[in-house]
């Protein structure tokens, strides 16, 4: 099965210029998604979920690393390629139901208008397709209702039908059930599985809701801007307070949990020690300091040599 999404070492740094601080929202994300799969990315607030989704949707771009979707490198997209990508490749569903729909339009028009604007689906088929999609999401009996006449769960169903209007290959969903009760959440996920089977879409859902883990084909945890496939994590026996699994890429780059770095007060330099059966990473502040001092001494030395000597009186 071919890869639909392939992210390698994706780093996203936000700069707050006024406060002069850097925030590493993603710290080296590796993600491979096969075509037609439902992937759940679950993690706490601030972990980088929305940032990753926006990067997959070409709404934001990585600071470094590569993002391929269906073999296309998103990093180098021109403005016209971004428009084409948004029109033909991705559909979005956001957390707030009302963000996904036009409140002034009835359900049928909500699904029909994106087709009309994009002009990708033949005009003669647009109305018929809108009706089919509304039926597929269970809103066949609500076609002429406006969002104000629908429940939260129904509006989110309408949002899903709207996101599918132009037949995208990938559906990106940011906390799609965040504002719904548990029963409606279960219904939406059952619907997503059905849609996934029926329309053969690749679906990426991010959420803090662990419920999602039971519903997806592949599950990743995200924390501090790092992803971990839970099936791989389960193959390790871990003492969760002291141990974490981390990915090492082909160049030997390892992602170290931020909490570990902070707890040990490590900055810049570490000592890496190889023993017979392991590699240890040790804080080694003293060595770092002495190296800087050495460098400064060298600089001072070379300055002294190059400046003309003062005459002694
Ligand atoms: N435009 C931005 N400018 C500066 N920092 C940002 C920006 N967007 C996100 N961040 C920061 O990046 C980190 C990850 O944010 P992100 O929105 O991806 O988290 P999240 O997992 O979606 O959280 P939530 O569950 O609360 O939606 C956070 O520390 C956030 O404050
Ligand atoms: Mg978010």
**Which tokens hold the place of 34?**
């096969």
Does residue 225 register a pLDDT over 90?
yes
- Are 58 and 77 within 8 A, CB to CB? yes
Helix runs in the chain, H state only: 49-56, 79-88, 107-118, 123-136, 152-164, 182-199, 230-234, 258-264, 285-306
Helix/strand/coil for 182: helix
Does residue 290 register a pLDDT over 70?
no
Average pLDDT of the residues in 53-80: 96
> pLDDT exceeding 70 applies to what percent of the chain?
91
- Domain span at residue 292 reads 266-304
Does residue 147 register a pLDDT over 90?
yes
What's the whole-number average pLDDT of the chain?
Answer: 89
Torsional class of 70: left (φ above 0), alpha (ψ -120 to 50), beta (otherwise): left
Nearest Cα to 130, choosing from 156, 158, 150, 153?
A: 158
Closest Cα to atom 12 of ligand 1? 25
- Ligand 1 pocket mutation, candidates 48, 56, 57, 177, criterion most atoms within 8 A of CB: 48
Helix/strand/coil for 16: strand
Nearest Cα to 86, choosing from 58, 51, 112?
A: 58
271 within some domain: yes
**Which tokens hold the place of 84?**
């084409």
Which residues contact residue 3 at a Cβ distance below 8 angstroms, ignoring those fewer than 6 apart?
32, 33, 34, 35, 68
Average pLDDT of the residues in 287-299: 58
pLDDT of residue 294: 57
Q: Which ligand is nearest to the CA of 55?
A: 1
Closest Cα to atom 18 of ligand 1? 48
**Which tokens hold the place of 64?**
């470094």
How remote is the CA of residue 6 from the centroid of ligand 1, in Å? Answer: 22
- Ligand 1 pocket mutation, candidates 18, 45, 51, 223, criterion most atoms within 8 A of CB: 51
pLDDT of residue 138: 92
Enter the pTM of the model: 0.86
- Are 206 and 175 within 8 A, CB to CB? yes
Which residues contact residue 249 at a Cβ distance below 8 angstroms, ignoring those fewer than 6 apart?
8, 9, 28, 30
Tens digits of residue pLDDT in 255-270: 888 888 888 888 888 8
Average pLDDT of the residues in 177-182: 86
| C-alpha span between 204 and 174 (Å, rounded) | 9
How remote is the CA of residue 51 from the centroid of ligand 1, in Å? Answer: 6
How remote is the CA of residue 94 from the centroid of ligand 2, in Å? Answer: 9
Per-residue confidence band for 49, with pLDDT thresholds at 50, 70 and 90: very high
Closest Cα to atom 7 of ligand 1? 14
| C-alpha span between 155 and 157 (Å, rounded) | 5
Per the structure, how many domains does the chain have?
Answer: 1
88 within some domain: no
Which residues contact residue 110 at a Cβ distance below 8 angstroms, ignoring those fewer than 6 apart?
101, 102, 147, 158, 161, 162
78 within some domain: no
299 within some domain: yes
282 within some domain: yes
121 within some domain: no
Q: How many residues does the chain have?
A: 313
Does residue 221 register a pLDDT over 70?
yes
Average pLDDT of the residues in 107-126: 94
pLDDT of residue 304: 67
Beta strands in 197-269 (DSSP E): 202-207, 218-223, 226-229
**Which tokens hold the place of 128?**
């018929």
Per-residue confidence band for 305, with pLDDT thresholds at 50, 70 and 90: low
> How many CA atoms lie less than 13 Å away from 42 in the CB half-sphere?
17
Tens digits of residue pLDDT in 182-214: 888 888 888 888 888 888 899 999 998 888 888
Helix/strand/coil for 155: helix
Positive or negative, the Cα torsion across 231, 236, 242, 245? negative
> pLDDT exceeding 90 applies to what percent of the chain?
62
Closest Cα to atom 2 of ligand 1? 14
Closest Cα to atom 5 of ligand 1? 14
169 within some domain: no
185 within some domain: no
Average pLDDT of the residues in 146-171: 95
pLDDT of residue 307: 63
**Which residues lie with the beta carbon below 6 Å from any ligand 1 atom?**
14, 16, 23, 25, 43, 45-51, 208
Which residues contact residue 50 at a Cβ distance below 8 angstroms, ignoring those fewer than 6 apart?
174, 206
pLDDT of residue 291: 54
């Amino acid at each position: 099965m071919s890869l639909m999404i392939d992210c390698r070492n994706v780093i996203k740094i936000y700069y707050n210029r006024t406060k002069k601080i850097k925030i590493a929202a993603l710290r080296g994300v590796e993600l491979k998604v096969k075509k037609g799969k439902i992937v759940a990315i679950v993690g706490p607030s601030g972990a980088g979920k929305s940032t990753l989704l926006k990067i997959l949707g070409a709404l934001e771009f990585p600071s470094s690393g590569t993002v391929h979707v269906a073999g296309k490198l998103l990093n180098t997209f021109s403005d016209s390629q971004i428009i084409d990508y948004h029109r033909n490749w991705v559909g979005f569903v956001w957390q707030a139901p009302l963000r996904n729909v036009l409140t002034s339009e009835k359900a049928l028009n909500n699904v029909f208008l994106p087709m009309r604007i994009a002009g990708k689906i033949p005009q003669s088929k647009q109305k018929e397709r809108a009706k089919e999609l509304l039926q597929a999401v269970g809103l066949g009996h609500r076609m002429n209702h406006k969002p104000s006449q629908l429940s939260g769960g129904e509006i989110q169903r309408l949002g899903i039908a709207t996101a599918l209007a132009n037949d995208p290959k990938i559906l990106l969903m940011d906390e799609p059930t965040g504002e719904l009760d548990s029963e409606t959440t279960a219904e939406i996920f059952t619907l997503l599985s059905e849609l996934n089977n029926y329309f053969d879409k690749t679906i990426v859902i991010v959420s803090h809701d662990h419920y999602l883990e039971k519903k997806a084909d592949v599950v990743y945890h995200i924390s501090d801007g790092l992803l971990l496939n839970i099936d791989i994590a389960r193959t390790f026996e871990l003492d969760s307070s002291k141990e974490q699994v981390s990915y090492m890429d082909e160049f030997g780059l390892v992602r170290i949990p931020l909490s570990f770095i902070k707890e040990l007060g490590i900055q810049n330099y570490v000592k890496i020690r190889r023993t017979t059966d392991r590699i240890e990473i040790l804080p080694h502040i003293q060595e770092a300091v002495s190296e800087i001092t050495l460098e400064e001494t060298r600089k001072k030395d070379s300055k002294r040599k190059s400046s003309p000597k003062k005459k002694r009186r």
